[in-house]
């Protein structure tokens, strides 16, 4: 964290853990209020920010609260009063926040939040990685985008501020708990001046004594639906604004991000993996030796880039998709990530199977990719079960669905 104690004047290559990279990125965007409750594996991001505030590097209100519900409530109010606000959470903390999550969307507040993805505790407690952000609260209207590595999560800290303030919707940026939050990777830091140029503090609607009004007052059925439709309408340009923020980021830093990123899609098998987050890196690494399969990596998860995904699948003639996701739903339909993909691709009728891997921090390795690729070669329709767990012990000596 020390590197952020003084002004960063030029791009510096350094190495640090994902959480400190986020804390550093947020520091550079000059937030006014930081209010978060620590929970593993997010803790160091808040710890790093308390450090820069204590050092006097960042002039901001660092607010200690007694719970995540207090954190989101405080952050919402701070943001409504005009402050640039950051909070962070994971897992059970995200659940405890739930009551406070819809309001920043309704009030169109550019609040930013880090989620260091971690499993929910059932039936046992787990502090390890799982995509809990897909399992709940994804439909409340927050923008959600996902990072693969430390460089991306550092950039996401800055991008989230840009996206939140351009779209006037609260924005969550996610990295995989432990896998990214606690790994030391090399990254290039952006000079302070560039960050501040990308994230100017623009005037917006705030709680103001000069312009009194009621925020969040009760409405009869005469009004409520119009309020919701108003939000839906405001959501429509968000993906375009996100891409515009990515493009602006590229012109300043040279690093290109997209709503969806693709690798080796024009392959011989017309098959592609589709996933998000750190697992994409594992697949890219595995693909150096397996060149007959492609990868679609989603960066934007909410709003879901429907048109973009359809265009990619159509343009590259993708026939089969292997969906890998670190979440399950116990609903008999599909796990949450696959449900989004299936709804988006319904008109195209693309064949897919969803594989649930890596729950509660189980490592996802080359075997999972080899097996799913092989299984997909035999799939030619949408009959039979569409999802299965992969990499789970059925009995002491048997892995389910794998011939050892």
DSSP assignment of 78-107 equals HHHTT--EEEEE-HHHHHHHGGGSHHHHHT
The least CB distance from residue 47 to other proteins, in Å, is: 15
For residue 211, what are the contacts with CB-CB under 8 A and spacing of at least 6? none
The least CB distance from residue 343 to other proteins, in Å, is: 28
User: How far is 87 from 37, CA to CA, in rounded Å?
Assistant: 8
Q: Which is nearer to other proteins, 250 or 366 (CB)?
A: 366
The least CB distance from residue 304 to other proteins, in Å, is: 24
Q: Which is nearer to other proteins, 126 or 167 (CB)?
A: 126
CA dihedral 41→42→46→49, nearest 10 degrees, is 100
User: How far is 364 from 265, CA to CA, in rounded Å?
Assistant: 22
Structure tokens at 299: 């960066």
Q: Which is nearer to other proteins, 183 or 241 (CB)?
A: 183
Q: Which is nearer to other proteins, 25 or 391 (CB)?
A: 391
Q: Which is nearer to other proteins, 127 or 231 (CB)?
A: 127
User: How far is 326 from 330, CA to CA, in rounded Å?
Assistant: 13
Query: Tokens 């804390």 map to which residue?
Result: 23
Pick left, alpha or beta for residue 400 (phi over 0 → left; psi -120 to 50 → alpha; otherwise beta).
beta
User: How far is 122 from 42, CA to CA, in rounded Å?
Assistant: 20
Report, in angstroms and rounded to the nearest whole number, the Rg of the chain calculated over CA atoms.
21
The least CB distance from residue 179 to other proteins, in Å, is: 5
The least CB distance from residue 112 to other proteins, in Å, is: 24
Structure tokens at 22: 């986020």
> Nearest-CA neighbor of 69 among 32, 112, 113, 101?
101
Binding positions for other proteins, rule: CB under 8 A = 14-15, 40, 123-124, 127-129, 148-149, 176, 178-180, 182-186, 278-279, 281-282, 284-288, 361-367, 391-400, 402, 404
Q: Which is nearer to other proteins, 81 or 183 (CB)?
A: 183
The least CB distance from residue 390 to other proteins, in Å, is: 10
> Nearest-CA neighbor of 307 among 250, 349, 354, 260?
260
Q: Which is nearer to other proteins, 18 or 303 (CB)?
A: 18
The least CB distance from residue 397 to other proteins, in Å, is: 6
């Amino acid at each position: 964290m020390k590197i952020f104690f003084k002004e960063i004047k030029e791009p510096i290559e350094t190495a640090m853990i994902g959480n400190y990279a986020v804390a550093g990125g947020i520091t550079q965007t000059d937030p006014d209020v930081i209010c978060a409750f620590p929970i593993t594996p997010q803790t160091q991001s808040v710890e790093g920010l308390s450090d820069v505030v204590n050092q006097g590097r960042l002039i901001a209100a660092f607010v200690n609260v007694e719970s995540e519900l207090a954190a989101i409530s405080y952050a919402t109010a701070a943001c409504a009063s005009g402050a640039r606000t950051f909070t962070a959470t994971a897992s059970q903390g995200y659940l405890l926040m739930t009551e406070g999550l819809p309001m920043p969307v309704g009030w169109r507040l550019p609040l930013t939040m880090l989620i260091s993805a971690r499993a929910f505790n059932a039936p046992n407690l787990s502090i390890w990685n799982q995509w809990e952000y897909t399992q709940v609260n994804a439909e409340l209207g927050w923008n959600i985008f996902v990072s693969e590595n430390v460089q991306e999560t550092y950039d996401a800290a800055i991008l989230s501020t840009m996206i939140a303030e351009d779209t006037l919707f609260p924005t969550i940026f996610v990295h995989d708990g432990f896998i990214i939050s606690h790994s030391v990777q090399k990254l290039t830091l952006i000079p302070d001046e560039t960050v501040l140029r990308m994230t100017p503090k623009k005037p917006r609607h705030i709680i103001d004594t000069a312009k009194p009004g009621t925020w969040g007052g009760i409405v009869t059925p005469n009004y409520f639906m119009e309020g919701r439709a108003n939000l839906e309408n405001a959501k429509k340009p968000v993906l375009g604004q996100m891409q515009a923020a990515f493009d602006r980021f590229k012109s300043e830093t040279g690093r290109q991000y997209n709503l969806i990123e693709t690798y080796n899609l024009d392959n011989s098998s017309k098959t592609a993996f589709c996933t998000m987050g750190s697992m994409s890196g594992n697949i890219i690494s595995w693909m150096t030796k397996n060149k007959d399969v492609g990868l679609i990596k989603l960066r934007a998860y909410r709003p879901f880039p429907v048109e973009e995904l359809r265009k990619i699948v159509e343009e590259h003639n993708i026939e089969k998709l292997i969906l890998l996701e670190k979440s399950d739903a116990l609903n008999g339909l599909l796990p949450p990530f696959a449900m989004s993909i299936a709804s988006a691709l319904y008109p195209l009728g693309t064949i897919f199977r969803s594989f649930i891997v890596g729950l509660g921090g189980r490592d996802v390795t080359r075997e999972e990719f080899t097996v799913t690729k092989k299984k997909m070669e035999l799939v030619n329709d949408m009959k039979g079960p569409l999802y299965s767990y992969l990499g789970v012990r059925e009995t002491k000596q048997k892995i389910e669905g794998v011939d050892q």
